[in-house]
Structure 1
């Protein structure tokens, strides 16, 4: 991962609402959630503000959107998430063991 890509991803997560959305999508699994369900879970209105935050996550490569009929579903891009985690921890402790291992998320386990 390039530093520029990591900065964009971290920038997208550096907002309370977007971080809440991202964590919700991670828990939702590979199928993702419809916008209405995201709004309901967060206790917010399904309006332009929520759409803005979702588009920021998609633009940063951390989530994807797909349309099914009248609904738009958003889901975590687990490969991008794992790549970011790896980028942040690849030189952990100078290559020496440093305690608990960092597990990456397997989308198969999240489904």
Structure 2
């Protein structure tokens, strides 16, 4: 990602593009296209017989929960949707102050 005009908000906590939108929200903003690029970061990983679960989540979950805590909680649920809902609920209970998105993929039960 290339940022030509990266400024912080008044509190200094959130980087903003051209002093307007937070970086992650600026990717889709037509008026800010000249200030950044959004090339995807693609990684390939082999999934073997030991891989049972994948958790894709936003920082609202990861700021309050370790990888191990999230995996241990998600493994308690056979239904991946139920696991994702519980992970989100747990992040809220741990007083996450950020947006929380969560997807759980089960490769085997």
Q: Which has the higher helix share?
A: 1
TM-score strictly above 0.5 = no
TM range (shorter): under 0.3
The alignment's TM-score, normalised by the length of structure 1, stands at 0.27
The alignment's TM-score, normalised by the length of structure 2, stands at 0.28
